[in-house]
């Protein structure tokens, strides 16, 4: 090989090694996909929630079967938790869950929005949060029960939020709210309701439009 050919090979090798070195030292990009998966350690996975839940109580059971199938073959009592970006049970599965709640159990469902049948059953309606004027994409979420931690938390990741714009005031208790106001103190009446609790038969149904609360990002983020 000529000297010029060897020089070209050397330059190519140096270039390739430089590119590899830059790629290896480049900060790893964060995966912001909202998976809600229990084994995912990405910001919007739920690994931390699973670990904390199992640490708090040994009675926690992870159910990997459809609710209709599980409830048909088990007589479990307690609280059934579902959270994801979108949750649609379907008529038969939802009816089986409602029958289970009616016997004295608790159903907690957290999703950006809910299927019409569930909302109609509880006499609820939802509406997307108006983001006009919220240029920094900042939201404040807060619990309203004074016996619970009522510190507000700022959430600043782009997404579409929903709130309950119609509730059955005779049966529904407000648990939490969300708003887009910054540097202002708003009363509960002026805020947007995003977590509600309602009795159903002998049991209770809790709905939340903020499933991000169950993710690694929100649980590890300080107020």
Note the pLDDT of residue 155: 74
Residue 205 has pLDDT above 70, yes or no: yes
Residue 9 has pLDDT above 80, yes or no: no
Mean pLDDT (the chain, rounded): 81
Q: Is 147 exposed, middle or buried (0-12, 13-18, 19+ CB in 10 A)?
A: exposed
Q: Which pairing describes strands 113-114 and 86-87: parallel, antiparallel, or unpaired?
A: parallel
Residue 206 has pLDDT above 80, yes or no: yes
Indicate the pLDDT class of residue 183, thresholds 50, 70 and 90. Answer: low
Q: What is the pLDDT of residues 24-61, one digit of tens each?
A: 565 677 788 888 998 898 988 999 888 888 888 878 88
**Is the distance from CB of 155 to CB of 194 less than 8 angstroms?**
no
d(CA 52, CA 136): 31
Average pLDDT over residues 11-33: 63
Residue 5 has pLDDT above 90, yes or no: no
In sign, the C-alpha dihedral spanning 149, 162, 56, 81 is positive
Angle at 68 between CA 33 and CA 113, to 5 degrees: 40
d(CA 183, CA 186): 10
Note the pLDDT of residue 189: 53
110 beta partners: 83, 208
Note the pLDDT of residue 21: 58
Average pLDDT over residues 125-133: 79
Element (H, E) at 140: strand 139-143
Helices (H) and strands (E) in the chain, counts: 6, 11
**Is the distance from CB of 198 to CB of 188 less than 8 angstroms?**
no
Map tokens 């609280």 to a residue. Answer: 79
**Is the distance from CB of 152 to CB of 223 less than 8 angstroms?**
yes
CATH (one of 3.30.70, 3.30.300, 3.30.1490, 3.40.50) for 47-220: 3.40.50
Residue 154 has pLDDT above 80, yes or no: no
The count of other CB atoms within 10 Å of the CB of residue 80 is: 18
Least confident of 3-12, 49-58, 66-75: 3-12
d(CA 168, CA 125): 10
Highest-pLDDT range among 19-33, 42-56, 136-150, 203-217: 203-217
Going by C-alpha positions, the residue among 145, 108, 113, 107 that lies closest to residue 126 is 113
Average pLDDT over residues 77-94: 93
Indicate the pLDDT class of residue 17, thresholds 50, 70 and 90. Answer: low
């Amino acid at each position: 090989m000529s000297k010029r050919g060897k020089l070209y090979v050397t330059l190519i090798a140096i270039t390739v090694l430089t590119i590899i070195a830059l790629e290896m030292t480049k900060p790893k990009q964060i995966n912001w996909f909202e998976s809600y998966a229990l084994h995912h350690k990405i910001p919007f996975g739920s690994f931390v929630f699973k670990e904390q839940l199992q640490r708090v109580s040994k009675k926690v059971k992870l159910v990997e079967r459809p609710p209709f199938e599980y409830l048909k073959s088990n007589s479990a009592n307690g609280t059934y938790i579902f959270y994801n970006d979108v949750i649609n049970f379907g008529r038969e599965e939802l009816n089986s869950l409602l029958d289970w709640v009616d016997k004295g159990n608790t159903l907690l469902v957290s999703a950006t929005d809910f299927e019409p049948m569930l909302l109609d059953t509880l006499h609820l309606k939802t509406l997307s949060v108006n983001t006009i004027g919220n240029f920094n994409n900042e939201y404040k979420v807060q619990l309203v029960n004074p016996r619970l931690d009522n510190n507000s938390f700022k959430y600043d990741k782009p997404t579409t939020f929903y709130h309950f714009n119609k509730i059955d005031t005779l049966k529904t208790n407000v648990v939490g709210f969300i708003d887009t106001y910054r540097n202002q103190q708003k009363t509960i009446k002026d805020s947007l309701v995003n977590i509600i609790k309602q009795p159903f038969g002998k049991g209770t149904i809790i709905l939340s439009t903020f499933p991000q609360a169950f993710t690694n990002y929100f649980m590890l983020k300080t107020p």
